[in-house]
């Protein structure tokens, strides 16, 4: 009988150690998703800043280019500046979408937690059972954050691609302009 109690205590102790380890890993993963979210939002802000500077530069150059256009038509410059602006606007739109605050899984209200524990108190007596509950809760939160962050990454990637396209178009129109002038 005493051997059975020792085995049970040993199993309980092992379960507590294992769930404490799982809890620590789950918390680490959740904290990582929070840092990832902050980083992605910062990156989208940087894309918005790049949009602002690029658009300002583009519209500062436009009147000068039109004034000294020589034999090039206004329609030529309209096409050039419009195509570049369109991709810059796309970049801004995707960067703004990356900052959107999506609905996500949240910690349950205190009343919900208290009711669950009150109704199932025998399931939360040991430290391992308590850690298991924590892992389940934090796992839902982490998964929700991860899915939202994956959306943010896609928006930022499209923002960067659109911005790159605007830069490529700027070089393209510059080369075309030089070729037409010569």
Spatial distance between the Cα atoms of 84 and 57, rounded to a whole number of angstroms: 12
End-to-end alpha carbon distance in the chain = 100
Contact 19, 128 (CB under 8 A): yes
Predicted pLDDT at 3: 66
Average pLDDT over residues 109-119: 88
Q: In the chain, where are the structural domains located?
A: 2-181
Average pLDDT over residues 72-88: 96
Higher-confidence position of 89 and 16: 89
pTM for this entry: 0.83
Name the DSSP letter for residue 134.
Answer: H
Q: Alpha helix (H) ranges present in the chain?
A: 2-67, 74-98, 110-119, 127-181
pLDDT in tens, 134-171: 999 999 999 999 999 999 999 999 999 999 999 999 99
Residues 9-65: pLDDT tens digits?
788 888 888 989 999 999 999 999 999 999 999 999 999 999 999 999 999 999 999
Instruction: Give Dmax over CA atoms of the chain in angstroms.
Output: 103
């Amino acid at each position: 009988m005493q051997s059975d109690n020792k085995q049970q205590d040993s199993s309980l102790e092992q379960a507590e150690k294992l769930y404490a380890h799982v809890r620590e890993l789950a918390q680490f993963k959740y904290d990582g998703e929070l840092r990832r979210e902050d980083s992605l939002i910062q990156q989208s802000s940087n894309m918005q800043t790049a949009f602002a500077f690029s658009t300002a530069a583009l519209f500062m150059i436009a009147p000068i280019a039109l004034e000294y256009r020589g034999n090039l038509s206004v329609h030529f410059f309209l096409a050039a500046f419009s195509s570049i602006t369109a991709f810059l606007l796309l970049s801004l739109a995707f960067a703004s979408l990356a900052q959107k605050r999506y609905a996500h899984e949240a910690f349950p209200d205190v009343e919900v937690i208290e009711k669950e524990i009150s109704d199932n108190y025998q399931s939360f007596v040991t430290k391992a059972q308590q850690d298991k509950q924590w892992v389940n809760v934090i796992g839902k939160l982490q998964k929700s954050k991860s899915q939202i962050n994956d959306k943010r990454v896609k928006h930022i990637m499209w923002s960067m691609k659109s911005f790159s396209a605007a830069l490529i178009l700027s070089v393209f129109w510059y080369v075309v302009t030089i070729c037409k002038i010569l």
